[in-house]
Amino acid sequence: MFNISTSVLAVILGGGAGTRLYPLTASRSKPAVPIAGKYRLVDIPISNCINSNIRRMFVLTQFNSASLNKHIKNTYSFNAFSSGFVDILAAEQTPDNPGWFQGTADAVRQSLRHIYNFDFEHLLILSGDQLYQMDFQTMIEDHRARNADITIATIPVTDRDASDFGILKADNDQLITSFIEKPKKELLPDWVSDTGEDMQKVGRNYLASMGIYIFNRSTLQQILKSEFPDYPDFGKEIIPQSISKYKVVSYQYDGYWTDIGNIHSFFEANIALTKDIPEFNLFDRTKTIFTRARMLPPAKVSGPRIINTVIVEGSIILASELTNSVIGIRARIGKGTVITCAYVMGNDFYETLETMEQNRQSGTPELGIGENCYIENAIIDKNCRIGNNVTIKGSPDLENTDHPLYTIKDGIVVVKKGAVLENGFTIGA
């Protein structure tokens, strides 16, 4: 009898240097980037696995992994009578392979000697920088029912988004017949698929790969070691080459999913959480997002006008107005401040009253956001010190730039982790 907890092993790809998410990845790996005020990106695939009764997971990483290692160590600990684990597999130089991970497939290939120490029938390969809530058990059951060698999770997308993804076509039995990586706009008419009536009504006529794969154990070994030992990437090389040799099946997912590959998509995904009924539902008890348990006081709010704003525990808020914003853990916001369409990540610690008094005497802004500030279309990374009367206003009119204290990308101002903005500092106004 098939038992998903003993038959499936998951591998979560930590990604490369994360340059498109810079400066959020300047000192942390992509999976460690804070999201929704209290979680890390890696919590999403791990939680999806746990909710699908998959309890054995490896996270593959090689860049800025210290904070990720700490988060996983402090968060995911299964009891002594369970076989469950979430372990980091960092890129390592060996006599057989002195190089670092060269791509998604190469990362898995270099880790096989660790992965194959465990019994499993199917390997579930996931990305560490996506936002979604998916039942992997249903996908695995479909994979087994179709007797597939490889299953690729797919999602219908519009022509506006299709050129950013691997696009495929499948027959009536969902067998993938062709695949193209990031097709140019002029090629799209040849890649229209029957995605279903509901998807077609909203113009989602193309099947995009979600970067979520299921491989049979024997298939994985054959492909990575024998068939294509030199191919570094799943999407660009392994999948297109496997279609003619293996039974590669599409599993269409119609729920909410977004790829958090750049600052704009990261910002939009966080702000979308402030909707009355967000598509990514943090309040669904059947799809819990797990993260590190912190023993923090409740948020304390005094006086502000609050509209569609997420406020995380441990915050102290005296602002005048908060609108369509996410206020993260231990955030401190002073009187008279207005924040709209912003993600304030919060802080890793509280300052003592003695330290705060020393800061006042030395003229150093306190940890958090001061009084009478205006912040719009911005991301405030952790542990920033923003003085009084500071204005931060992102807009499409702003040119992309990288300043020692902040970065502007696609009209969004990102104040760098630990930055100090003195009283009256102005960005974009």
pLDDT more than 90, % of the chain:
70
What pLDDT is recorded for position 102? Answer: 74
pTM of the model: 0.93
What CATH superfamily is the domain 296-427?
Hexapeptide repeat proteins (2.160.10.10)
Cβ contact 366:347 at 8 Å: no
What pLDDT is recorded for position 419? Answer: 97
Query: Which overall architecture, per CATH, does domain 4-272 show?
Result: Alpha-Beta Complex (3.90)
What pLDDT is recorded for position 300? Answer: 95
What pLDDT is recorded for position 149? Answer: 97
Nearest to 21 by CA among 130, 99, 155, 110: 130
Domain ranges of the chain: 4-272, 296-427
Q: Spell out the SS3 assignment of the chain.
A: CCCHHHHEEEEEECCCCCHHHCCCCCCCCHHHCEECCCEECCHHHHHHHHHCCCCEEEEEECCCCHHHHHHHHHHCCCCCCCCCEEEEEECCCCCCCCCCCCCHHHHHHHHHHHHCCCCCCEEEEEECCEEECCCHHHHHHHHHHCCCCEEEEEEEECHHHHCCCEEEEECCCCEEEEEEECCCHHHHHHHCCCCCHHHHHCCCCEEEEEEEEEEEHHHHHHHHHHHCCCCCCHHHHHHHHHCCCCCEEEEECCCCEEECCCHHHHHHHHHHCCCCCCCCCCCCHHHCCCCCCCCCCCCEECCCEEECCEECCCCEECCCEEECCEEEECCEECCCCEEEEEEEEECCCCCCHHHHHHHHHHCCCCCEECCCCEEEEEEECCCCEECCCCEEECCCCCCCEECCCEEEECCEEEECCCCEECCCCEECC
What pLDDT is recorded for position 407? Answer: 97
Q: Do domains 4-272 and 296-427 have the same CATH topology?
A: no
What pLDDT is recorded for position 129? Answer: 87
Q: Mean pLDDT per segment of 10 residues, for the chain of length 429 residues?
A: 83 81 90 94 96 94 80 87 84 66 83 90 94 95 96 93 91 92 90 90 92 95 90 89 94 92 93 94 90 93 92 96 97 97 97 91 94 98 98 96 96 97 93
**CA 330, 331, 334 angle in degrees (round to 5)?**
135
What pLDDT is recorded for position 95? Answer: 62
Q: CA separation (Å) from 262 to 177, 229, 331?
A: 30, 30, 24
- Residue 311: CB atoms within 10 Å: 22
What pLDDT is recorded for position 97? Answer: 65
DSSP letters spanning 130-175: EEE---HHHHHHHHHHTT-SEEEEEEEE-HHHHTTSEEEEE-TT-B
